[in-house]
Structure 1
């Protein structure tokens, strides 16, 4: 199993070379945008093959910019990947504009970037720039780990700090964990995540922060002044880091919980088109849902879990919120859409709706038909707070008392995503 980490490292850039980095980022974005605008064949279709796009735009990019050859390649490669994603959405019937690149970043590979433990050199429009790292303990722990191979990096400029960062990508191989225990995780809006073992990761602070930043952003947009536009760009970076910081903390705690319960699998719902599935929500919820990063937390879980040899699997989302995790009775009236409380109309089982869904999500992986279930899962067991449950509904308590299940298999942990 491949473990990939991206380590953000602040750079100490010589003052006389800062403009070279700024100009390189600007021209990199120009090259990527040029590729999107001109990367079409004679029939007008976007070119999604990198060999063909090279023939179409490479020489133009060398004329249009002062970028070295390999940065031109990285720019058109980035544009092609974005165009592929756009075309894939079009094929699904989703409306989406062509990609536009204006973020303050540029992508580097081994030909354009030399990564050392305490310094780096980067290709620019004006030769190579040597920079020193400004490191904390977190960055040192990864850069000094010989098991990781330093692969590539992305140069970022943060306006709010007036600082350059190099996001270094490192990789190593980890053996997959043996075993067949599954942790079910329900990802949601009110509770960012709830696990089958009864841990709640509250999204209240996350949503409050996003709503606060939304109000500030709206106020600045109304002003429309030059200084307001500059403040908007700084705010955008701060908002992204605010959200990602909390999602990183939550995903790390979920993986630690899976490790503590000796799980080899974490199971989540396949959240494809979740925004479209929730079109009946009010404008505030839709805005929160748009900003809330379902994909990001899924990816964070995957790469954090990989370090423990734990795999993250997705299951179809159908009926996970409507099924009773105790008797398997399905009804749209089992869950109150306003309060989120679950009460089975068949057996009377009452529990928080997200917690009920988390158990269903984990159990659904165990009951997938052969060929769709992970090959190493075997019969499989779902991790609960007080024991495990297999695909046939057979329960094994961590303690010796069956009565202990009734008293402990209830959500008691509430964790705020700080």
Structure 2
């Protein structure tokens, strides 16, 4: 499988060349917007073919901007990709305006960007600019890895830092994890994640942090002074780093858990309408769910798992919280307000999120042919005491774990820090 990473690298730009980069970004955005405006056929429909749109807008872009030829190509290519996404939404009946480009960024490829281990050169409206990297250990670990091929990058300007960044895209081939074992993972608010092998990733610290920053923001917003707004921007950056740091830790540990149990697949719920599916009866819970980074955690999980050759698969979320993972009985009354699950049919009693994580993994095993991953085969769900196949047959890891599953909350409890 192909693994891609985007590594953000801060740039040290000569003072006398900063304006060239600013103007290049401005003109790149202008070229993208020009493409959207003029990239239509005689009937007024958007042109979504890059070869066709080249004939339509390329010479106009060369006249309208001072961009090198290859940056013009990158600009209309970026615009076409955005237009395709817009048209796809239109076909689904979703209202969406034509794309506009105003973020301070420009896309580079191998012809316009030369990437070295500690420096790079970028094409601009006035020749090429040589820049040095400002690297941390994280960036060095990837840039110094010869297994990764450096392919292209995007130049960004961060106004809050008054600094340029180059987001370098690297890729390498990774051998897929061999096997048919699945780890089920349930994402939630109180427990950030719970796995079918019994690991709990507590969300208490994240919720405390979000509430702490929320109170700070609310106090500063009431003041409304210039200095308060400056502090707000700094506070926002600290909150983002706080959350992302913990999500990185949690996603890494989940992948390590999957690898330790020799899992080739991680099953998660499809995120569509996740906030509507969760309890949101009071304003505080609504705010916490609005700020909760479900998608970011799932994206981190996906790209970290790919480095191990593990695939992350999304399954339909229906009834995973209401179904008994032991007997399969479904009832909306089995899960109580304390998030504990007690089956009304067989009496199986267990933590509700843990029960859901097993159902999520089992659901991947039992998807219809054609929707189930081709390499999964018959498949087995990894549990804390053994494995379960798609027919419900349980195999204990050893003689001491012959009891299928304890009714108590799993003992493995991991705090997200």
What is the TM-score with the length of structure 2 in the denominator?
0.88
Counterpart CA distance in 1 for 2:275 and 2:50 is: 31
1:239-254 equivalent positions in 2, closer than 5 A:
240-254=240-254
1:48-197 equivalent positions in 2, closer than 5 A:
48-197=48-197
Structure 1 residues 279 and 39, CA gap change in structure 2 (3 angstroms): farther
Q: Which has the larger displacement, 230-239 or 152-161?
A: 230-239
The number of residue pairs the alignment matches comes to: 417
Counterpart CA distance in 1 for 2:215 and 2:35 is: 36
Counterpart CA distance in 1 for 2:384 and 2:183 is: 10
Counterpart CA distance in 1 for 2:41 and 2:221 is: 39
Cα distance, 1:257 vs structure 2: 0.8
Counterpart CA distance in 2 for 1:409 and 1:246 is: 27
Partner of 1:353: 352
Q: Which has the larger displacement, 69-78 or 404-413?
A: 404-413
Contact 1:6–1:168 (CA<8 Å) still a contact in 2?
yes
Contact 1:385–1:409 (CA<8 Å) still a contact in 2?
no
1:191-210 equivalent positions in 2, closer than 5 A:
191-210=191-210
Q: Which has the larger displacement, 94-103 or 12-21?
A: 94-103
Q: Which has the larger displacement, 97-106 or 177-186?
A: 97-106
Partner of 2:310: 310
Partner of 1:363: 362
Contact 2:387–2:395 (CA<8 Å) still a contact in 1?
yes
Partner of 2:22: 22
**Gaps spanning 5+ residues in structure 1: where?**
none
The Cα offsets for residues 331-374 of structure 1, whole Å up to 9 and x where unpaired, read as: 122223x4332221112222222211110010111112222222
Cα distance, 1:287 vs structure 2: 4.7
Q: Which has the larger displacement, 379-388 or 18-27?
A: 18-27
The Cα offsets for residues 278-321 of structure 1, whole Å up to 9 and x where unpaired, read as: 69765554554444343333332222112111111122212111
**Gaps spanning 5+ residues in structure 2: where?**
none
Structure 1 residues 57 and 187, CA gap change in structure 2 (3 angstroms): farther
The Cα offsets for residues 182-229 of structure 1, whole Å up to 9 and x where unpaired, read as: 100112233222111121223344344445555666677777787777
Q: Partner of 2:399: helix, strand, or coil?
A: coil
The Cα offsets for residues 111-160 of structure 1, whole Å up to 9 and x where unpaired, read as: 11100111110112222111112223322222122211111112222333
Partner of 1:342: 341
Q: Which has the larger displacement, 27-36 or 249-258?
A: 27-36
Counterpart CA distance in 1 for 2:222 and 2:47 is: 39
2:320 equivalent to 1:320: yes
Q: Which has the larger displacement, 351-360 or 25-34?
A: 25-34
Contact 2:185–2:267 (CA<8 Å) still a contact in 1?
yes
Cα distance, 1:100 vs structure 2: 3.6
Q: CA RMSD in A?
A: 3.0
Q: Which has the larger displacement, 251-260 or 214-223?
A: 214-223
Contact 1:174–1:307 (CA<8 Å) still a contact in 2?
yes
1:291-302 equivalent positions in 2, closer than 5 A:
291-302=291-302
The Cα offsets for residues 19-71 of structure 1, whole Å up to 9 and x where unpaired, read as: 22222223323333343444444444433332333334333333333322222
Structure 1 residues 288 and 407, CA gap change in structure 2 (3 angstroms): closer
